[in-house]
Chain A
Amino acid sequence: MIEREQVLHVAKLARLGLSEEEVERMAGELSGILEHVDRIGELELDDVPPTSHVVELENVLRADEPHESLDRDVALAQAPDPVDGAFRVPSPQAEG
């Protein structure tokens, strides 16, 4: 069962603003899905190696050769707030 507090904590980690109504709904929906998912917790899999990859490749490496970078205008073309050749963002709260 996912509590409201957990929903708020996870939303914070995910930088996802949720309305009050979404928090309530999310708590119910996540609980339902996780209840189903929890059945894999009952499987005896202690000695089973995890699979994070199905390809069996190793050492896929790139030669250290420069490619052409984007024109700065192109790099900034889609930015919501380009200023002085850079991407402007609201400051994080002042640190230290």
Chain B
Amino acid sequence: MTDMLELTAVQAQEAMASGDFSPAEYGKAWAEAAAEDELNAYLWRDGNGDAEAISVEEPSLAPVAVKDIFCTEGVPTTAGSRILEGYRPAYTSTAVRRLIEAGAPVLGKTNMDEFAMGSSNENSAYGPVLNPWDRGRVPGGSSGGSAAVVAGGLAPWAIGTDTGGSIRQPASLCGIVGLKPTYGAISRYGMIAFASSLDQCGPLTRDVRDAALMLSVLQGADPCDSTSVGLGEAPSLPDREDLRGLRFAVPSELARDAIEPGVREVFEATLARIEQLGGEIAEAPLPHAEHGISAYYVIAPAEASSNLARYDGVRYGMRSEGSGDLIEMYETTRAEGFGSEVKRRIMLGTYALSSGYYDAYYGQAQKVRTKIASDFSAAFAEFDFVVTPTSPSVAFGLGEKTSDPLAMYLNDFFTVPMSLAGIPAISIPAGLAEPAGGGPRLPVGFQIAAPAFAEQKLLAAAHALEGAIGFDARPEGVRG
């Protein structure tokens, strides 16, 4: 028998179903692996006796690492923020509940950028997550903990959230698969809100089939989320091996010179691979995509400024000691409870919504959003998919971009347009590349976007391409 931990979640499910090993044995092995966390990737792990609320009676699926943004009854849930330190929700999010009901135990809660705001995981109040490929580098963010545990052999699979790239970009930087489903495919109930019109839950997995299995468990309309619709039909496990008859669009405006040379090389090689599999590549105009970052960094902070106003020291969470009158209590609690990136976005969002600025910022950004969505619609009238690199660079060094927020925001250049349009997009590992500044080679992600609700087709193409790429590199010391 091979090492249980080397199996994908799909393989493990089959092995448990056919009695090769018991769910208890398998769960124990993963709990032991998770306990070896040296990446600061877990904020809480099961096994310390206070997890009754999220235990599963008859496990049948691989245990899941859950981003600490999902409320879990009785289990600490912080969203990476000081303001929720020690907070234990009175209820469980729909996504986690679906996992539990499907037989997947919760292995632990993963570290993240505070309230999902960040692209490097350096914005966690509980310290940065380290990239398992190079501990001097970031894992990406904001679902950096979830990406690191999967890539680092500390969990078989994980869930995260993606608002502007927070699943896809860390998946890319850690060399795993990350899927952002269509907005509305998975319930947001119990997922701590960052930007409500963009937030979407999704899987971070070792391969595309695992992502399909996880998606089939998570998807579905939820009476607790008025904006959820589900996928109509749960996706099945993909088995396609070619790309014949499929048309892939590369945005004509793709700013190739903004992409690191190593990443560009892997991207071009992947395009060639698509053609080898029978797929067709051509350019398609997406003229407004370049304004995605601007629109995103108005809309997301605006919604966030409102979503984070509830952290006021009244009903739960921290309250600053020695606060004076009400206003002072609010101001000091929020000053002490929030980190600097969260403060920056609250300020940005409040400004964009404030009297006299709404039309110029929030209103205009929503119109840009309309244009970006219609650009995609036009492209999908002729193409099956739009492809880009997931991130313009491989994992960068810790502290490298923290002093320049705009440079950090530009990391999301390729992932934000799909979020604004609400369409599904997947990042699969496409190869390794040397960082711009030199050093050992690091993973490069390839992003494929599809029309809304075309997840099944997206997973099929991604699976075919993944098979052809045959990416099997692992960080040093990690089985796989």
Contact = CB atoms under 8 A, between A and B. Distances in A.
In the complex they form, whether A and B have CB atoms below 8 Å apart is answered with yes
Given A49-B367, A55-B227, A78-B87, A15 B327 contact: yes
Nearest to A80: B319
Given A62-B223, A87-B314, A74 B90 contact: yes
Interface stretch (B173-181, B257-265, B289-297): B289-297
Interface string A1-24: 010001101110111111100100
A7 B344 CA distance: 11
Most buried by B among A7, A15, A39, A57: A15
A83 interface: no
A87 B314 CA distance: 7
A50 B223 CA distance: 27
A87 B326 CA distance: 13
Most buried by B among A19, A57, A92: A57
Contacts of B381: none
Contact of B184 (A32, A33, A55, A89): A55
B236 interface: no
Contact of B343 (A9, A22, A62, A78): A22
B184 to A, nearest CB: 5
A78 B364 contact: no
Contacts of B323: 90
A16 B339 CA distance: 11
Nearest to B407: A32
B422 interface: yes
B316 A57 contact: no
The B contact surface, by secondary structure, is helix
B317 interface: yes
Contact of B366 (A17, A50, A60, A93): A50
Contacts of A92: 325-327
B187 interface: no
B409 interface: yes
Contacts of A33: 297, 348, 405-406, 409
Given A7-B347, A52-B366, A15 B330 contact: yes
B252 interface: no
Given A41-B364, A51-B369, A89-B314, A18 B343 contact: yes
Contact of A30 (B197, B315, B351): B351
Given A10-B350, A29-B405, A78-B88, A15 B334 contact: yes
A70 B325 contact: no
B317 to A, nearest CB: 7
Contact of A43 (B291, B314, B406): B291
B298 interface: yes
B305 interface: yes
Nearest to B298: A37
Given A17-B334, A45-B367, A89-B314, A40 B325 contact: no
A48 B409 contact: no
Chain B interface: which size bin? Answer: 35 or more
A49 B370 contact: yes
A17 B88 contact: no
Contacts of B317: 78, 80
A79 B406 contact: no
A39 B360 contact: no
Given A79-B316, A80-B318, A53 B346 contact: no
Nearest to B349: A14
A57 B330 CA distance: 36
B433 interface: no
Interface in B307-344: 309, 312-319, 323-332, 334-335, 338, 340, 343-344
Contacts of A16: 331, 334-335, 338, 343, 346-347
B406 A11 contact: no
A48 B197 contact: no
B70 interface: no
Contacts of B226: 57, 60
Contact of B370 (A34, A51, A81, A91): A51
B54 interface: no
A33 B297 CA distance: 8
Interface string A84-96: 0001011111000
B276 interface: no
A55 B315 CA distance: 32
Contacts of A87: 314-315
Contacts of A48: 367, 370-371
24 contacts: A10-B351, A13-B350, A14-B305, A14-B346, A14-B347, A16-B347, A29-B405, A43-B288, A45-B364, A48-B370, A49-B367, A53-B227, A54-B422, A77-B90, A78-B315, A78-B316, A79-B314, A79-B315, A79-B316, A80-B317, A80-B318, A89-B326, A91-B325, A91-B326
Given A45-B364, A57-B226, A78-B316, 20 more contacts: A10-B351, A14-B305, A15-B330, A16-B331, A26-B344, A30-B351, A39-B291, A40-B298, A40-B364, A41-B360, A41-B364, A48-B370, A50-B369, A52-B366, A55-B227, A55-B229, A57-B229, A60-B226, A79-B314, A89-B326
